[in-house]
Structure 1
Amino acid sequence: MWKIYALLSALFAALTAIFAKVGVKDINSDLATAIRTTIILMLTWGIVIFGSHLNEMKDVSRNTWFFLIISGLSTGLSWLFYFKAIQLGNVSRVAPIDKLSVVITMLLAFLFLHEQPSIKVILGALLIAVGSIFMII
């Protein structure tokens, strides 16, 4: 099931890039990010409320809060830089460079989460890295 969710994530990330490029055409990219974030906020809280998960907040540990907060800060910064990049550059070049995050994520997962790299994962990471670097030069 995780593979279906991952493919759906990729599909919606692609749509996000295309819609965002059009959306930042005539406004400041930071304002565009704020508007987009507000929509995401309403959507996700709606899912939590209508899914009856709001009462689970009392069970969230301090450690979990800490990591979710720094994850949120990282996401916000990523979005701000991404929107500025697509405002200034072509989405078809920005998006592949942005996908270097996949390679960086793999490296961090190996280092900090002690995930075991397989040959397929290493080869995939190398191909993504080469493709992304090719887009830069």
Structure 2
Amino acid sequence: MSMLLSSWQFWAILSACFAALTAVFAKVGVEAIDSDLATFIRTIVVVAALACILVGTGKWRPAQAISGRTMLFLVLSGLATGASWLCYFRALQMGDVARVSPIDKLSVVLVALVGVAFLGERLSAANWTGVLLIGAGALLVAWRG
């Protein structure tokens, strides 16, 4: 079990499962209220849950203990997350969850491109094929044919 918990693959699969639940729950949740308000409620729940986890596990750290560079990139990431959530909830309110979510997952393609262009990561031919298939698959699932 310890080996499983230290595996990035395990956590990535759990992330995908929770992301799927997020999409379905959010689609139902935005039916009767404004998507921005729904995003706000979701954000409060996330903040409260994480605060409890940090305090409960003794991982809470004061802001002064975090470097300026780290804080800058975490703030930028938070802003990007907020923008993503606002756009995602708006799209869910307007479209089918089975079509919105695959388009949202085009972020996988964008991350691969940014990772290579700006972070110096390298992808093999098989990796690039996978990126292209993810992109094509997302578009095909979202296509109303």
> Do both share a fold (TM > 0.5)?
yes
Q: Does 2:33 align with 1:33?
A: no
- Structure-1 residue corresponding to 2:124: 118
| Runs of at least 4 residues off by over 4 Å | none
Q: Indicate if the aligned counterparts of 1:97 and 1:136 stay in contact, CA closer than 8 A.
A: no
Once structures 1 and 2 are overlaid, which stretch shifts more, 115-124 or 87-96? 115-124
| Counterpart Cα distance in 1 of 2:94 and 2:12 | 28
Shift, 1:112, TM fit: 1.2
Residues 97 and 55 (structure 1), Cα distance of their counterparts in 2 relative to 1, 3 Å cut: closer
Q: Normalized against structure 1, the TM-score is what?
A: 0.95
| Counterpart Cα distance in 2 of 1:56 and 1:5 | 27
Aligned Cα RMSD in Å? 1.2
Structure 1 counterpart of 2:10, from 4, 14, 23: 4
Q: Indicate if the aligned counterparts of 1:110 and 1:117 stay in contact, CA closer than 8 A.
A: yes
C-alpha deviations, 1:2-48, integer Å up to 9, x for none?
A: 00000000000000000000000000000000000000000111111
| Counterpart Cα distance in 2 of 1:29 and 1:69 | 23
| Counterpart Cα distance in 1 of 2:42 and 2:79 | 15
- Structure-2 residue corresponding to 1:44: 50
Instruction: Find the residue that maps to 2:55 and give its secondary structure.
Output: helix
Number of equivalenced pairs: 137
5+ residue gaps in structure 1? none
Q: Matched residues, percent identical?
A: 47
- Structure-2 residue corresponding to 1:85: 91
Alignment of 1:57-136 (within 5 A): 57-134=63-140, 135-136=142-143
| Counterpart Cα distance in 1 of 2:130 and 2:62 | 38
Amino acid at match of 2:84: S
- Structure-1 residue corresponding to 2:3: none
Amino acid at match of 2:70: T
| Counterpart Cα distance in 2 of 1:104 and 1:65 | 23
| Counterpart Cα distance in 1 of 2:48 and 2:109 | 31
| Counterpart Cα distance in 1 of 2:26 and 2:16 | 15
Q: Normalized against structure 2, the TM-score is what?
A: 0.90
Instruction: Find the residue that maps to 1:115 and give its secondary structure.
Output: coil
